[in-house]
Structure 1
Amino acid sequence: MGAYHLAIVDQNGTVGGRIALGGRPVSIGRHPENVISIRDDLASRYHCVIEPTDNGDWRVRDLGSRNGTRLNGERVSDAAVSPGDRIQVGTHTFEVNGGANHNGPEDSGATRAGGVAEAPARARKPKPKPSKKERPAPNAAGARAAWVESVAQIIRAVAPDADIKQPISLIDARGRTSAALNNSSEGAVAARLFLLAASYTRATDLHVEPKGETVQVRMRVDGQMLDVADIPNGVGELAVGLVKAVCHMKSAGRDAILEGHFSATIREQRIDYRASITPSVHGQKLVLRILNCADAPESLAHMGLANYMLDRVAKASQQDAGMVLACGPTGSGKTTTLYNVLREIDREHRNVVTIEDPVEYHLDRVTQIPANIDRGATFGSLLRSVLRQDPDVILLGEIRDEESARVAMQAAMTGHLVFSTVHAKDTIGAVFRLLDLGVENYLVANSLNLVLAQRLVRILCDHCKRPIAVTPGQATRMGKWLEGNHEIHFATGCARCLRTGYRGRRAIYEMLEFNNDLRDVVLSEPTIHAMRRVIEQGHFTTLVQAGWQLVARGVTALDEVDRVAGSA
């Protein structure tokens, strides 16, 4: 078979210069690392790749692009190409030519530098850009269709039967129902599609950020940021304005910092949103924190704790006094864990009070108090007040300073069961964090019952994960935690997992149970080595070892455990 080339087709349909297809894949997209780098707002950073097959033919494969790759006008994800076929990437069109008799200049209109071929739109010496007055008006209908299709593609990838036109009922900050999203205005369409996409993908955050010529929309799914769409500035401003209205935010300048909240009913589920607007270089950036109870475990048994840990935590939750501490970085699921521990408590016969900043989820038969540092309602001051409210169980959202730490531990030693969180990388680190805050050794030693450290690791997508042989180095490193397996799995990526290779997350835990030997170490001169000597005499599993167990069972990848818990 003759040599294959890609010919660049201009807007008039004229076939221009050629780019040779050698024996290696040719990637196309906006990022400069692509073999063919194009300047095209409708193209993704890594849009598609044209690659050789084993029998000498060529195929085009979409790389999870926002607007899709089209072959002869039909949208494709993976398809064979032949001479004469035309591949559309954004507004660019490439024609496949084969055979040695093809006429046309080689690589005309494209330059090569460092192995990167640039389409004419990225030539080294581009023509001066026309002024805004000289630029032709964009095709508004086409632009709208592009970003709408981009969001719809994400929704259909995870939910093929989803109705992207389904209505959403908004509940504003004052508790009134609104149908503001159920019309055809561009702002309403954008906001509705973004909320739908976030719901179907289980996103925890939605970012709407102006970038100059466009507004970039991204979501945080399973802890990682994913591109959703680039929308026109006017559409972005309308969508942000709608959020401001439903949050009843006060009118302020573009450099104001605004916060608010609202709710929505999507697929018969109520979802709460916390809105934050902050000024950026190009305008106001909106971030929505998404609080969906349906995405969180509903009981302690669903948290993924090992059986012996589950028994210890359940036992600790039935005690009359003491402290259970959860530690980990922001977003590691500490509050979710403690909420589920509270669900194990007999709230009908015990007075349960929480102090949180902010209150994220509603709990039945629990008095929930929001902290407000700006008004003097700090964790420490509220905790002192709560102790005069006849509490049996107290959940303190976070131990941040010496005052809150000391008051919480004194409460744990005087007949109250206290739950709280602290920022520390592991259970031993949590103990030293309390000591560093200035809390006396005897308070730490005598108040703590359990310390839980946790992380969230992504779960491999069942549709695309692939096995790989365990290397000798991995076998030596993981040891008994490999459980005799000769294969582990790694992430590849498919449409159902949005090309990430992962779908969902679960927690891994490390538990430190205080006994008399450990209390003696903390009371004397605590060191990491001294504490480890005592801990290792019992049943103790580190965060990394807990992750290795999931790797051995094909639940997650070794790289993911190293990323999340490698420093623990």
Structure 2
Amino acid sequence: MPETSPNDGKGRLGPLGLEQILALLVRNGLLQEPDALSLRDKAPLQRRRLQRERQAAGTTDIPITWAELVASFQQPAVGSGRITETRIQQAVAEAAGLPYIAVDPLRVDPKLVSDTVSFAYARRNRILPLAVKDGRMTLAVDDPYSRDVIVTMTNRAGMPLDVVVSAASDIQQVLDEVFRFRASVRGAVAELGDGATDFGNLEQLVQLTAGTNVEGDDRHVVHAVDFLMRYALEQRASDLHIEPKRDSSHVRLRIDGVLHKVQELPKVVHRAVVSRIKTMARLDIAEKRRPQDGRIKLAHHDLEVELRISTLPTAFGEKVVTRFFDPQVLFQSLDQLGLFPTELEYFNSFIRRPNGLILVTGPTGSGKTTTLYSGLRAVASPTVNVCTIEDPIEMVVDAFNQTAVNTRLGLTFDSLLRTLLRQDPDVIMVGEVRDGETARNAIQAALTGHLVFATVHTNDAPSTIGRMIDLGAEPFMLASTLVGVVAQRLIRRVCMSCRQEGELSAEQATALGLQLAKDERFPVFEGVGCAKCRGTGLKGRIGVFEVMPVNEKLKKQITEGADAGEMARQAVRDGMLTLRQAAIKKLALGLTSFDEVLRVTADSDY
């Protein structure tokens, strides 16, 4: 705990005020004295303006801190940037001799917060319990000089405190998320009852005889589900997992390809949450023994976001996975995908052709849908009939005529493709080539004057040709229609907020197949971890591509039955970057890390 406030000089303790904060900023060289005096004079009027804004937003119960008030002026700082709440709190932490921590919502234990302090007290005093370790509690505060608050929290916790400084706005945001969500959960538990029958647990199945379904539109459950979906979107999650366990239900988010556990629900609430999601997706809430798939469309920040819902019976109940299709991510201009200029030129030449077959390949979750949709959007116009066959439709787009595969009704890729050829299409997208009939019909469509996009599951571009032939495509017909092949992966970006320059070691260079001269340096960037990347050093993802134009030399090799290795070597001689080479190039540009390059291109054979 700090012993003196930063501006009293006499050892008196007391909460931070406007004068202390302004003096601290001047002392730290962030603010000039005349600017500090000007802000002090403007403060009363600015405070009234902020109060009116909170009245309009219905948040008058949230106190306005002096740090928030000073930050609201957006005053330019001496040197560079502006005076932000974060910079103010960092200065406060330095003056108090305490660490500053940017609160990461995914690393907060909601149960610890709600069990330690009440919402009203935490909100009024802007405090947040973060963790308990080795008999000590880490407590985030915005004002480390509020002795009464820290003493009270020490007594409540029943253990010593390690005080850290955080921004009040970050603390308030987490408090709102934790307490409002848990209030909805508690309300649901109260209405459903702790003794509600659990039909999902196979360990209890033998003992069950009867029961009633939990209503999916209960208001507490509605609030809880709305919170989870909104929170997932705000955290840039691609998937939301709700997983039943023996005694509880776990909620996890997949962010940048990595799963994070964010909540734990009482088991009694799980079925109600699942029923609510199934109701939103127009699924059968009474059917719990079979997998179901559905869709939801949500309005979020003036955007319509598509959600794909998948349910699966498991040992302890129905597991639900919600996949988010953010249009800002799914529909990107081609130059935002991560293609290098030469690769972009190749891809543009593919999609501008009047006919031919374009194959996109890569494992599940490698960004194929984004590439396909972006390519289709680039060619779609009022004069072009774009038709797609998907399983399922990932995102509804007005510019496309989209059809979903439904095997129960006999609507397969093969049958739909044959029908689609009678619909006067200009451009056709086949979601996946799975069998010989679909492969042959896709080639036939390309031969008869259509531009066909299709996906195949292979590791790289050259092996895609062998896969098509294995499925039953005639080599000479494939050679005459295939325009190009695009293999891709998603690689995580180095966090731009905390990256530091380093260089590859000799061992790392060898692992990547690089031959460096004795004194040659290969500068790279690594993220050291910060609040924005949640300590991972990585934030966001970008595509890595292997773009193989099918020229006359490759056509000849396809017809002659050359293997993937021969075609790969020919394509490289013709200028193709392999996945490994493209990833290394992104490493050299400081966009990704050595570990990511190794992870994503581990199956690169040439």
What TM-score do the two structures reach when normalised by structure 2? 0.65
Does 1:69 find its partner at 2:131?
yes
Q: Is the 8 A contact 1:259 1:277 kept in 2?
A: yes
Conserved in 1, the CA contact under 8 Å of 2:332 and 2:370? no
| 1:286 counterpart SS class | strand
What secondary structure is seen at the aligned counterpart in 2 of 1:398? Answer: coil
Mapping of residues 105-504 of structure 1, within 5 Å: 148=178, 185-476=219-510, 477=512, 479=514, 486-504=522-540
Aligned partners of 1:186 and 1:235 also within 8 Å:
no
Whether 1:532 and 2:561 are equivalent positions in the alignment is: no
Change (3 A) 1:411 1:506: same
After TM superposition, give the deviation of residue 222 of structure 1 in Å: 1.0
- For 1:265 and 1:312, the matched residues in 2 are separated by 37
Residue type of the alignment partner of 1:426: D
Match of 1:556 among 575, 588, 592: 592
Aligned equivalents of 2:262, 2:180: Cα separation in 1: 7
- 1:560 Cα deviation (Å)? 0.8
Gaps of 5+ in 2: 1-96, 111-129, 145-149, 163-173, 183-215
The code of the aligned residue for 2:455 comes to T
Deviation at 1:205, TM superposition (A): 0.9
Retained in 2: the 8 A contact 1:247–1:261? yes
2:446 & 2:346 partners in 1: Cα distance?
Answer: 18
Q: Which of the two has greater helix per residue?
A: 2
Give 2:560's aligned amino acid. S
Does the aligned pair in 2 maintain the 1:355–1:368 contact within 8 Å?
yes
**Distance across 2 between alignment mates of 1:337 and 1:481:** 34
Cα distance change of structure 1 residues 248 and 321 upon mapping to structure 2, 3 Å threshold: closer
The Cα offsets for residues 352-375 of structure 1, whole Å up to 9 and x where unpaired, read as 211111112233332111111221
| Distance (Å, rounded) in 1 between the aligned partners of 2:234 and 2:285 | 32
Contact 2:248 2:264 in 1 (8 A): yes
What displacement does 1:65 show? 4.2
* 1:493 partner amino acid: G
Distance in 2 of aligned mates of 1:370 and 1:237: 29
CA pair 69-404 structure 1, distance change in 2 beyond 3 A = same
Letter of the 2:139 partner, please give it: E
Deviation of the 1:539 alpha carbon: 0.8
Structure 2 CA distance for partners of 1:60 and 1:291, relative to 1, 3 Å = closer
Q: Report the Cα distance in structure 1 between the residues aligned to 2:349 and 2:259, rounded to whole angstroms.
A: 38
- Hey, what's the Cα distance between the residues in 2 that align with 1:552 and 1:95? 47
Amino acid paired to 2:243: E
**Distance change (3 Å), C-alpha of 1:366 and 1:200:** same
CA contact 2:139–2:161 (8 Å) conserved in 1: no
Cα offsets for 1:280-335 (capped at 9, x unmatched): 11111111111111233421122121111211221221211111110000111112
Which residue identity lines up with residue 75 of structure 1 in the other structure? Answer: A
With over 3 angstroms needed to count, the CA separation of the structure-2 counterparts of 1:549 and 1:66, relative to structure 1, is farther
Q: How far did 1:486 drift? A: 4.0
- Give the deviation of 1:148 after TM superposition: 2.1
Shift of 1:532: 3.0
Q: Residues 253 and 387 (structure 1 numbering): CA distance in 2 closer, same or farther, change over 3 Å?
A: closer
| 1:9 matched residue in structure 2 | none
CA separation of 1:306 and 1:205: change in aligned 2, threshold 3 A? same
Contact kept? 2:308, 2:394, Cα under 8 Å: no
Q: Give SS of 1:489's match.
A: strand
CA distance in 1, matches of 2:158, 2:177: 19
RMSD: 3.3
Look up the equivalent residue of 2:558 and give its one-letter code: V
Which is worse superposed, 270-279 or 470-479?
470-479
CA distance in 2, matches of 1:216, 1:92: 26
The separation in 1 between residues aligned to 2:594 and 2:227, in whole angstroms, is 35
What is the one-letter code of the residue matched to 2:140?
Answer: R
The separation in 2 between residues aligned to 1:379 and 1:512, in whole angstroms, is 25
List per-residue Cα deviations over 1:59-94 (Å, max 9, x = no partner): 9999934342266683379x9xxxxx99999x9865
Q: C-alpha separation between the residues in 2 aligned to 1:253 and 1:352?
A: 36
Contact 1:358 1:370 in 2 (8 A): yes
**CA separation in 2, counterparts of 1:236 and 1:499?**
31
**Aligned amino acid, residue 529 of structure 1:** G
Alpha-carbon distance in structure 1 between the residues aligned to 2:438 and 2:152: 63
Using the TM superposition, give the Cα deviation of residue 257 of structure 1 relative to its aligned residue in structure 2, in angstroms.
Answer: 2.6
SS in 2 for 1:419: strand
Q: Which amino acid aligns with 1:273?
A: L
Name the CA distance, whole Å, in 1 between partners of 2:326 and 2:363.
21
SS of the residue corresponding to residue 264 of structure 1 reads strand
4+ residue runs of structure 1 moved beyond 4 angstroms? Answer: 57-63, 70-73, 85-89, 91-97, 144-147, 149-152
Separation (CA, whole Å) in 2 of partners of 1:284 and 1:346: 40
Shift of 1:561: 1.4
Q: What's the CA shift string for 1:522-544, capped at 9, x where partnerless?
A: 11131233223422321111111
Aligned identity (percent) is 33
Going from structure 1 to structure 2, the CA distance change for 1:550 and 1:480 (only over 3 Å counts) comes to farther
Q: Distance in 2 between matches of 1:372 and 1:94?
A: 60
Q: Where does residue 131 of structure 1 map in the other structure?
A: none
The one-letter code matched in structure 1 to 2:561 is E
Distance 1:435 1:301 in 2: 32
Per-residue deviation, residues 380-416 of structure 1 (Å, max 9, x unmatched): 1111111111212111111011000001011112211
- Secondary structure, counterpart of 1:74 in structure 2: strand
* Contact 2:380 2:399 (8 Å CA) reproduced: no
Instruction: Find the aligned partners of 1:406 and 1:230 in 2 and give their Cα distance.
Output: 49
**Partner Cα separation in structure 2 for residue 254 and residue 486 of structure 1:** 56
Residue 253 of structure 1 and its aligned partner are, at CA, apart by 4.7
Letter in 2 for 1:74: L
Q: How many residues align?
A: 429
1:186 and 1:498 mapped to 2: Cα distance?
A: 30
- Are residues 541 and 186 of structure 1, via their aligned partners in 2, closer, same or farther at CA, if it must alter by over 3 Å? same
User: For residues 292 and 551 of structure 2, what CA distance do their matches in structure 1 show?
Assistant: 48
**Higher strand proportion (structure 1 or 2):** 1
SS for the counterpart of 1:279 is: strand
* Stretch deviating more after TM superposition (199-208 or 67-76): 67-76
Change in CA separation of 1:522 and 1:76 when aligned onto 2, cut-off 3 Å: farther
Q: Pick from 539, 545, 548 the counterpart of residue 512 of structure 1.
A: 548
For residues 257-279 of structure 1, the C-alpha deviation after alignment (integer angstroms, 9 at most, x for no partner) is 33322222122221121222222
Aligned pair in 2 of structure 1 residues 219, 560: CA closer, same or farther (>3 Å)?
same
The 3 A distance-change label for structure 1 pair 358 and 529 is: closer
